[in-house]
Structure 1
Amino acid sequence: MWQKLEECVRSIRADGLVWGSSKLVPVGYGIKKLQIQRVVEDHKVGTDMMEEQITAFENYVQSMDVAAFSKI
């Protein structure tokens, strides 16, 4: 099931968005979350827009969060 989730998330395309590596991270009680790295150009891709598009995959996504955020 996580493969389909990753496929859905990576299907999001935008100018200034590049997807990186991914991994499953244990949360607890046998539950794992999918963690995907991405690089965005701040003035082209907003975090709100990304959150809306990712959470739109309601069959696969319960919630999402940003684990790390850096600006250069």
Structure 2
Amino acid sequence: MKKLEEAVRSVEMEGLLWGASKLVAVGYGIKKLQIMLTIVDDLVSVDTLIEERLTVEPINEYVQSCDIVAFNKI
């Protein structure tokens, strides 16, 4: 899970700031990584972040899927 978090946090974009993280139990001993992040809406597209940065080589070796738990627009 440490390598997963390192891979995700290695993604850098102007207007993207990674925050706190935690492991959340899913069931049967399986855990998922949950990370808070802040984006500047005019600079970062959520779709671009997920489709072009988090689901491509080499990160897709660790990332199976991405879910948005909460979304606040300021």
Same fold (TM over 0.5): yes
Q: Deviations over 1:21-43 (max 9, x none)?
A: 00000011111000000000001
**Alpha-carbon distance between aligned partners in 1 of 2:39 and 2:73, rounded to the nearest angstrom:** 9
CA distance in 1, matches of 2:13, 2:61: 22
> Deviation string for 1:2-38 (max 9, x for gaps)?
1111111111111111100000000111110000000
- How do 1:24-63 and structure 2 match up within 5 A? 24-52=23-51, 53-56=53-56, 57-63=59-65
Query: CA RMSD, aligned part only?
Result: 0.8
Structure 1 stretches of 4+ with a deviation exceeding 2 A read none
Unaligned runs of 5+ residues in structure 1 are none
The residue aligned with 2:72 is: 70
Structure 2: where are the runs of 5+ without partners?
none
Output the TM-score relative to the length of structure 2.
Answer: 0.90
Partner secondary structure for residue 35 of structure 2: strand
Q: What TM-score do the two structures reach when normalised by structure 1?
A: 0.93
Alignment length, in residue pairs?
A: 71
